[in-house]
Amino acid sequence: MTPGDQTTPQDPTQQYGGPPERGEQVPHPGRTADMDREPDHGEQSYRGSGRLEGKAAVVTGGDSGIGRAVALAFAREGADVLINHLEAEHEDAQQTVALVEEAGRRCVTVPGDLTEEAVCRRVVDRAVEEFGRVDVLVSNAAYQMAQPGGLADITTEQFDRVMRTNLYAMFWLCQAAVPHMPPGSSIITSSSVQAFTPSPALLDYATTKAGIVAFTKALGQQLVEKGIRVNSVAPGPVWTPLIPATMPEGTVESFGGQSPMGRPAQPAELAPAYVFFASQESSFVTAEVLAVTGGSPIT
């Protein structure tokens, strides 16, 4: 039995053990191979059932963490996938490519920084060139940098980067993709528990996540007449390379301990929520936020 086994009942509080053993920091943007305990993306556990057969999906931040788990799950459900990643994340991106191709699906990579509008439009243009359309758009890439000192320690440069990565890129991607999305398509954003219960050290990041929720609800209502659904997944703490790359020294060991389950989620535990929103199983759901928080309520 593997920790992420989908068929064997397990105690969810003990499924993956506790926090990372050493909690060492890694250089930003964070590589999976540098982590003292690599996340579970569902490599040994996720089993598809054809729910996205023949679909074409775009997943930003698809090199690692939640993005990799989503790309893997989509491929095992039958979708071809295009992933975007930073140039520095090439090695991780190639591991995602390998997982998608092992599932028998195509994987296209488009490196580039989504804080640039031209890169966002290039991502969508490449997807249309390769697949002819976009059936599923997952706006997942994000940037955060914890500042324990709060407002006074957040520079204009950091604030601008957080806003452009988390909000502007989502706007540009959706604006570019919608004309190429047929009825029945799905846009999925990644918000956060931080949108509802913000941490002071993540003031700017939490602000963007609240914005993502508002954007999702408004766009979902706007696009319903086109037959395009827009929903959001709101994760709680998730063990990804971004965490040891952005959290202050000495805090990584306790990461996720504040959740009722007493641990962070693994990316493999988030992927099914994205599959649900991407598939026809959620055909009557739009402008909605699904919390995957380990029991922390969102209001």
What is the model's pLDDT at position 54?
97
The answer as to whether 236 is a domain residue is yes
Q: Find the CATH number of the domain harbouring 89.
A: 3.40.50.720
Q: What would the pLDDT profile of 162-210 be if each residue is shown by its tens digit?
A: 999 999 999 999 999 999 999 999 999 999 999 999 999 999 999 999 9
Q: Identify the active-site residue in 16, 46, 143, 205.
A: 205
Q: What is the average pLDDT score of the chain? A: 90
For residue 103, the enclosing domain spans 54-292
The answer as to whether 16 is a domain residue is no
Calpha distance 240→66 (Å, rounded): 7
- Place 285 in a pLDDT band, splitting at 50, 70 and 90: very high
As for how many domains the chain has, the answer is 1
Q: Can you read off the two tokens belonging to residue 282?
A: 């959620």
pLDDT at 33 over 70: no
Establish whether 205 is a catalytic residue: yes
Pairing of strands 186-190, 289-292: unpaired
Mean pLDDT across 48-55:
97
The answer as to whether 263 is a domain residue is yes
Query: Which CB contacts under 8 angstroms, 24+ apart, belong to 111-118?
Result: 111/84, 111/85, 111/86, 111/87, 112/84, 112/86, 112/87, 113/86, 113/87, 114/60, 114/84, 114/141, 114/164, 114/165, 114/169, 114/172, 114/173, 115/161, 115/164, 115/165, 115/168, 115/169, 117/168, 117/172
The answer as to whether 116 is a domain residue is yes
Q: 265 vs 133, which has greater pLDDT?
A: 133
Q: What would the pLDDT profile of 108-128 be if each residue is shown by its tens digit?
A: 999 999 999 999 999 999 999
Query: Percentage of the chain with pLDDT > 90?
Result: 73
Calpha distance 84→21 (Å, rounded): 30
pLDDT at 85 over 90: yes
The answer as to whether 177 is a domain residue is yes
